[in-house]
Amino acid sequence: MNWIMLIIAGLFEVAFAFCLAKAKETTGTDMYLWYGGFLICSTISFLLLIKAVQTLPIGTAYAVWTGIGAVGTVLLGILVFKDPANFWRVFFIITLIGSIVGLKYVAH
């Protein structure tokens, strides 16, 4: 169950990065709504991370959390914000995913 909470926390990390990117693109009330979404998503993400590290090793949990956030944010950038998707970028994303999966399997 704690691994599921950790994965959801990582997805909320992606969501708060998305909100920051959208806030940068907007002005006025829309910008403040996106910043509000950022605050909500970051709060949920941190609370779930706190809950997950009560039973998971902190080093593994933090690495998995940031890895999910990093991979998700890069993929979101490529798919939604039209960031470049060259060979090396995709290669290192795949390497990072392999590292996240490996950490999960070697954690006690």
List, for residues 12-65, the tens digit of each pLDDT value.
999 999 999 999 999 999 999 999 999 999 999 999 999 999 999 999 999 999
Other CB atoms within 10 Å distance of the CB of residue 8: 16
CA 13, CA 70: separation in Å to the nearest integer? 9
> Does the model's pTM come out above 0.85?
yes
- The residue segments making up the domain with residue 92 are 2-106
CA 52, CA 10: separation in Å to the nearest integer? 11
DSSP 107: -
DSSP 56: S
Rounded mean pLDDT of 63-88? 94
- To the nearest whole percent, how much of the chain has pLDDT over 90? 89
Q: Using only C-alpha atoms, what is the Rg of the chain?
A: 15
Residue 108 has pLDDT above 70, yes or no: no
Question: Which H/E stretch holds residue 84?
Answer: none
Structural domain count, the chain? 1
Residue 65: exposed, middle, or buried by beta-carbon count in 10 A (0-12, 13-18, 19+)? buried
